[in-house]
A and B are shown apart, each in its own frame.
Chain A
């Protein structure tokens, strides 16, 4: 587990949401690229300080979902799952909140320690959209901070929210997604069974993957399990990318 002396913040978001602008605005010039232990992934990381605590922000690839349909999605998902960031920030575009909430809800299924950064508030306003971030925060059960990352508006509030969630000053309680009743019944059974894994992994999230017969995740837990190796090669686009079968 990460202790709070070196808290880690994962930065995720859809493409075209200004995620890299948020990253630059948060970390300024304190950036570097680094390899993450045990993986051949290169991700940009940077730091910022708040209340004498130095946070390391890791810029995850921009993705539309976390279903691991592409190498990028797999990198983003696995970082949130296995590097156990103290806070995961999801940058969303205020002008198309609905589509962006898909990713937010998927992140919330994995980790409750989440802050939503509602970027491009100025553009939303220009389009006549009034985004009620307080209402959004209540609905989601996690902080939602309005931002205009280009001009730095809302960044202090974002840092504060990250700090508060990391230190537990704000207790988050994500609203669970309600599935069809028959799925919910099956989920209840599996979630109970999986409860011993609780602090490490969300039992409900894992139960859903098992129910969907998505076994690619199991190889991370069961070393002998090689039933699905399709997603073993996990690389970020900024590293060498080996794509079978054309390149083998």
Chain B
């Protein structure tokens, strides 16, 4: 089960609470993508779903030692592979 999960690529918005993923691709174009890149969301980056806001969206993610809030709309376009730590 865990092994199967390791190779599955899912959108960041589906990452379960507290679990980590590794960014595979950022499938957005334009200024939003550039902003995400500036904040360090490049392929290979480890990212964790930390907690969500009271109404469920947006959610806060831990990435490169910082907390970043993203709406589901953006998180849907960030593809991650489930990973450890």
Contact = CB atoms under 8 A, between A and B. Distances in A.
Interface in B39-78: 39-40, 63-66
Interface residues of B, number: 10
A96 B39 CA distance: 12
A65 B39 CA distance: 8
A210 B34 CA distance: 18
Contacts of B66: 96, 99
A69 B39 contact: no
Given A64-B38, A64-B39, A65-B38, 4 more contacts: A67-B38, A96-B64, A96-B66, A98-B65
A98 B39 CA distance: 10
A102 B40 contact: yes
Q: Is the interface of B mostly helix, strand, loop or mixed?
A: mixed
A99 B65 contact: yes
Interface of A: 64-65, 67, 69, 95-99, 102
The 10 A-B residue pairs whose C-beta atoms are closest, nearest first, are: A96-B65, A65-B38, A99-B64, A64-B38, A98-B64, A69-B34, A96-B66, A99-B40, A99-B66, A64-B39
B31 A69 contact: yes
A152 to B, nearest CB: 25
A67 B40 CA distance: 13
19 contacts: A64-B35, A64-B38, A67-B34, A69-B31, A69-B34, A69-B35, A69-B38, A95-B65, A96-B64, A96-B65, A96-B66, A97-B65, A98-B40, A98-B64, A99-B63, A99-B64, A99-B65, A102-B38, A102-B40
Q: Is the interface of A mostly helix, strand, loop or mixed?
A: helix
A98 B65 CA distance: 8
B70 to A, nearest CB: 15
B84 to A, nearest CB: 19
Contacts of A102: 38, 40
| Most chain A Cβ neighbours within 10 Å, of B31, B63, B66 | B66
A102 B66 CA distance: 13
A102 B40 CA distance: 8
A96 B68 CA distance: 13
B67 to A, nearest CB: 10
Nearest to B64: A99
A102 B35 CA distance: 13
A69 B64 CA distance: 21
| Most chain A Cβ neighbours within 10 Å, of B40, B64, B65 | B65
A125 to B, nearest CB: 15
A184 B83 CA distance: 32
A64 B63 CA distance: 14
B71 to A, nearest CB: 18
A230 B2 CA distance: 49
Contacts of B34: 67, 69
A186 B77 CA distance: 32
Contacts of B65: 95-99
A244 to B, nearest CB: 14
